[in-house]
Every structure is written in C-alpha cells, then in structure tokens.
Structure 1
Amino acid sequence: MDRTVTPPTAAALRAEITQTRAELGETVQALAAKADLKARLGHAVTVRRAKVTGALDRMAHPLRDPLHTPLPDERAVPVGRAPARPASRRYWWLIPAGAAALAAVGALLTRRG
C-alpha cells in the first residue's frame, strides 16, 4: 500500500486561508460583543423597562388585558340592587358593643375585689 499525499494547490490554500480569516473574524466579533459591557447593560435596561412599562399599563387598564379576571369588587352590580358594603362598614357597631361589654366586665370585677 503506497500512500502518497499530494500537496494542496495554491488556490486551495488561498481558499482555506480566506475561510479561516472569516471564521476568526466572526469569533473576534463575538468576543468583542461579550466584552462590550455598556451595550449589554443598555440592552438589559431596555428589556427590563419594556417589561415594567407593560406591567404598569396592564395594571392601569385591566380591561385591555385579555387574561384579566375581575376581582369581586370589580364585578357589575345587577340593576336594582345596591352593592354590598365592605366588611369594615358592616360591623361598625361591634366596636361600641365590645367596649360596653368590657366596661361591664370591668365593673363586675372591681365590685368583687
């Protein structure tokens, strides 16, 4: 078995050199992009700003958001019915009743003593 290696031609060498230079240029550009912290930070800020702006817009205009589910307070009230009062207004009378009950217990405890 005689293995002879034929030397590459000048045109083949030039094509290989051109391809290697192109690959090296792409590698250098990729490394330069990774090393450009200012550009990377600017891109990250732009992305975050867009996310925050979108979230704020959805909060300000919930009806525009197709995935928005209304909270109980946002539901429409049927015609002819008054909206339900919040719990804090429904049980206002418990405060003076509780105070009176505490005063009565306090009075009973002081009489025994």
Structure 2
Amino acid sequence: MTYVIAEPCVDVLDKACIEECPVDCIYEGERMLYIHPDECVDCGACEPVCPVEAIFYEDDVPDEWDAYVAANVDFFDELGSPGGAAKVGQKPFDPPFIKELPPMNEE
C-alpha cells in the first residue's frame, strides 16, 4: 500500500508535499504530482500539508477518484524507478487519463 495523489492536484502542482517528503518519492508530471508506489515508505508526512487535500492512503481514495490510483502507477511505467524525484525534475508527460482531462482547478 502507498499514498496516492488524486484529482484536486490536477493543474495545481503546489509542491508542499514534495518539501515534506523525507524519501523524495513525489514526482512532478506536466499536470500533477505522483507518488512512486515502490519508493513511498507510507510515513504520511505529505498528506497533512497538501493545501487541496489531494493525497489519500491507497485504500481511502474516494470512489469517484479510483482512476487516480492507476494513473499514479501508470506515470512510472514510462519513468521507471529512478530512486528520487529531485534528480529527475519535472517530466514533460502524464498518463493518458490525466492528459485527456479538461483544464481543472483554475481560479
């Protein structure tokens, strides 16, 4: 089990969670952030600092956002497991599900 970032993060990219993560497992795509399922140590440090409440323990993701569990995994199909987000920086891609979403969370 791991933490998952869901819909409230799409087009927000606040990054407070990145600063809080002790293992550097939160990666940045083009439209949202993703938690690497193999690198996350389930500490939960990221969850309370998320200003849009987009981070959930995998079993607690609301049903309407179930597709984000797969999207978080799919992001790493292309990226692999680089062993830390800081050294790879923002990646210019997202899984197809995220790419196809209309613009979101704009004020």
Give the TM-score band, short-chain normalised: under 0.3
**More helix per residue:** 1
TM-score, normalised to structure 2's length?
Answer: 0.17
TM-score, normalised to structure 1's length?
Answer: 0.17
Q: Which has the higher contact order (CA 8 A, sep 6+)?
A: 2
**More strand per residue:** 2
